[in-house]
Amino acid sequence: MVQQARLGEVVVVVKLLEDVVLIDKRRDLIAGYRPVFVDCSASLSAPLFAQTGVCGTYLEAFGRMVKMVRDIGKNKVIVDLDASCEELCLTTIFGMFLQYPFVYFSSDSGNCLAGVDLFHVELGVNDDVSTFDDISTFDDVRDHIFTSFSVPTALCPSEDEFRKIPYYRRHRTVNLNSVSM
C-alpha cells in the first residue's frame, strides 16, 4: 500500500473508456498549451483546421478533465473519465493529454485521412558521445525518439518552423492507405 500511495502522489492513470494514459500530476497540462485542431471528419473531402467552436469545446472539456486529475487524492491512482468524454472524440482528448501540437478531431465515426500526405515529425535526443571517455565503442551517434506527431502536409507550417521545436530530430512525409481513429 505504501508504493501505491507514493505512485499516486506523482503519476495517475487516466482511464478513457477502454484506453488509459499515464499523467504526471505535477506537470501543468494547461498553461501555454494551445494545440492546433485538425478536422478530419469522414464527411470532408480533405482535412482542414477545425472551427473555433470545436476548439473551445475541447479546451473547456480538457480543462475540466485536468482539474479532476489534479484534485484526485494522494492514495488514488486511477481517474475514470468515462462520463466526461462520452460525446468527445477520444483521439482528440488523448492528443491533448499527450500535449501534441496538432490534434485530430472527427465529428463522425470515420475520417478522411486515407491517402492524405502527412508530415511526420519525430522529437528526441541523441547520444552525446563527447561525454564518454572511450568513444571507440560507439559505431555511430544513436537517436532516441521519445515522441512523434503528424499533420497533413497541406496544413503544416514550413519545415523551418518544425526545426525550431525543441528536441526536433527529423521528419518525413508518409501516406497511409487507411487510418483508424
C-beta of residue 148 within 8 angstroms of C-beta of residue 122: yes
Express each pLDDT in 23-72 by its tens digit: 887 778 888 888 889 999 999 999 999 998 999 999 999 998 888 888 87
C-beta of residue 104 within 8 angstroms of C-beta of residue 111: yes
- Check: pTM over 0.85? Answer yes or no: no
C-beta of residue 40 within 8 angstroms of C-beta of residue 47: yes
Express each pLDDT in 143-169 by its tens digit: 677 778 888 988 887 777 777 766 666
